[in-house]
Structure 1
Amino acid sequence: MSHKIHRALLMAVMPMNWKIHHVKSVDSTQHLLREKAVSGADEGTVVYADKQTGGRGRQGRQWDSPTGNLYCSLLLKPECSLQEAGLYAFIVAVALANTIEDIIDTDGIQPKLKWPNDVLIEKRKCAGILLETETNSKNIVTHLFIGFGVNILPQEEGDRIGLSDYAEGVLRETVLNNFLKNLEYFINIYRKNGFLEIASAWRSYAFGLGERGRARTASGEYHGVFKDLDDDGALLLLLDNGDIKRITAGDVYFEK
């Protein structure tokens, strides 16, 4: 069962003062947002572009960014540890899943969240998330740059899929505005109640939970069953020898 928002609750959360900036073309919305932060941009600053010429994902991977999809970055100033800042990837993912689920609104089809940062529809990638940080001399995160891309254009083949494959007349601005409302709600849930409710919501969308897979990390490759999400967002992999391996960074692939 998904963790969809009760809309009345949106009225009860602390408002976030989003300041939205639109540009036609940019090398990267993350880069542009960093420039705005240097100039003193407030928390809640949002930039989105029609096109990116140098879009990127995790680990510096290129993100193909043709005109028509949503490419966006937003700024938070959480004043937290690096470990806690990483939890915002799950908050963003749940907000995106809620947004996408409302838009596609198709019986039997639910977006899925693939650890650590992808949103899938029917096993094809619809959206991705990128977190970058700046810290002070005490290693406290002062700026959290959250980048995400959502495929809106129809995707006829390959491992990607777009919202327009399921719904007509999808507008980037509608996706963005609905996402920001959902994100605001889940940020407030997290700041009031901690990560447990976010983790529960993430599990309700989890791709591959209970299935066999492999995790490729800097220390090696591990095979086992995706058992759960740990309290700090780590993936818990039940290895064939019965041990539990905590995966905190890397890529996960499932056999099905």
Structure 2
Amino acid sequence: MTDTRQAVLAALADGPVTGPTLADRLGVSRAAVWKHVEALRDEGFGVESTEDGYELTAIPEYGADAVAFGLDASFDVEYHDTVGSTNDRARELATDGRENVVVLADRQVGGRGRRDRAWESPSGGIWLSAVLRPDIPPARAPLLTLAMAVAVTDAAREHGVDATIKWPNDVLVSNASEGTPDASSGDSLVSNANEGTSEDSGGRKLSGILTEMEGESGRVSWVVVGVGVNANVDPGDLYEGATSLRSEAGRVDRRVFVQRVLERFDELRDDFDGVLPAWRERTSTLGRRVRVHLPDGDLVGRAVDVTETGALVVDTGEERRVVHAGDCEHLRPV
């Protein structure tokens, strides 16, 4: 959306305004105002001509312009009805030198999670990737994953969903009772053929986050933070052990939810020192017995903290190990 069209929308949001007033305010012709109004109508905005002037009567349900309208965060939005992977598209934009762009899609057909696991993403979910160029050391880039987990969790809680964070990259909804050990440490939010997972003692999976980075010589070139949220996904499309905002609290306004996620994330990336305290307050991992799958074998112990770079500290009873990456299971208490 052009800057002028955004200015027209902003003016309409304040109430009815006449064409001549808009033209004078924006320094354009009345014909140009009319063209912008027609373009907004084509994009799905309801703009009525009344005795008092143009009046905004409806906002598109979803899409780039819908999310950008009223967004209090410094991101441009690129929307696709269907895309292979929002992360792949974001990587293309990052390679082209873009930053502060969010790639948003109604449906992904080639999504992937950690370790290139399949990640099916049907219509009704929230699939987005943010292109960033943060001025931070590469070692601190994982904190952006934690920041996004906080943002998703806060947005879910605002919508009445009891969400918590499981290290390193999942947002869960608490189970009604403690149960079996976690068997859902994969990243697919929706079932593939013949795939099944059981509920874990940490909760049902609502969201997953995948962060990718490119950098050199101690400098971050770009970071892409990808997010998948089971928003209004049909419950029949969810695998056992997953859940959705729709299942927990009814259908949500995806436009509003995305705005809240982006606004909260924008706050946190401007207050990096606040990320870890916020994450610790919202996690269900710390204080629990966990099993972390590592290349050299499983590590079992109590998760006691995260480091300033987002690594998990596990107390085995004999030593404290710092884990920078791995699949984490929540285990039921002994």
Q: TM tier, shorter chain?
A: 0.7 to 0.9
The match for 2:181 is: none
Q: Does 1:169 align with 2:251?
A: yes
The match for 1:32 is: 89
Equivalent residues in 2 for 1:121-136 (5 A)?
121-122=173-174, 123-136=203-216
> In structure 2, do the counterparts of structure 1 residues 99 and 39 end up closer, same or farther at CA, with 3 Å as the change threshold?
same
For 1:180, what is the secondary structure of its paired residue? helix
Aligned counterparts of 2:327 and 2:221: Cα–Cα separation in 1: 27
Q: Deviations over 1:87-133 (max 9, x none)?
A: 11111111111111101x25xxx211000000001200000101111
CA contact (8 A) 1:235 1:248 kept: yes
Find the structure with the greater CA-based Rg: 2
Aligned Cα root-mean-square deviation (Å): 1.6
Q: Which of 228, 240, 247 is the aligned partner of 1:149?
A: 228
Equivalent residues in 2 for 1:1-40 (5 A)?
16-40=73-97
Q: Does 1:58 align with 2:114?
A: yes
CA contact (8 A) 1:80 1:142 kept: no
Letter in 2 for 1:62: A
Q: 5+ unaligned residues in a row in structure 1: which ranges?
A: 1-14
Q: Deviations over 1:160-200 (max 9, x none)?
A: 1000112233122221111111111111121xxx2xx3211
CA contact (8 A) 2:290 2:328 kept: yes
Range with bigger deviation, 90-99 or 79-88 = 79-88
Aligned counterparts of 1:158 and 1:64: Cα–Cα separation in 2: 15
Aligned counterparts of 1:65 and 1:94: Cα–Cα separation in 2: 22
Range with bigger deviation, 30-39 or 49-58 = 30-39
The match for 1:180 is: 262
Q: Once the two structures are aligned, what percentage of the paired residues are identical?
A: 31
The match for 1:160 is: 242
Aligned length: 230
Equivalent residues in 2 for 1:84-233 (5 A)?
84-103=140-159, 105=160, 110-122=162-174, 123-136=203-216, 138-152=217-231, 153-155=233-235, 158-190=240-272, 194=273, 197-233=274-310
Aligned counterparts of 1:181 and 1:145: Cα–Cα separation in 2: 17
CA contact (8 A) 1:25 1:53 kept: yes
CA contact (8 A) 2:245 2:251 kept: no
Shift of 1:154: 4.6
Q: Does 1:71 align with 2:153?
A: no
CA contact (8 A) 2:140 2:308 kept: no
CA contact (8 A) 2:104 2:129 kept: yes
CA contact (8 A) 2:74 2:266 kept: no
Shift of 1:232: 2.1
Q: 5+ unaligned residues in a row in structure 2: which ranges?
A: 1-71, 175-202
Aligned counterparts of 1:38 and 1:213: Cα–Cα separation in 2: 38
For 1:216, what is the secondary structure of its paired residue? strand
Letter in 2 for 1:130: L
CA contact (8 A) 1:154 1:161 kept: no
Letter in 1 for 2:276: A
Shift of 1:211: 1.8
Letter in 1 for 2:209: I
Shift of 1:147: 0.4
Aligned counterparts of 2:229 and 2:151: Cα–Cα separation in 1: 12
TM-score, normalised via structure 2 length: 0.66
Aligned counterparts of 2:119 and 2:320: Cα–Cα separation in 1: 33
> Which structure's relative contact order is higher, taking Cα pairs within 8 Å and 6+ residues apart?
1
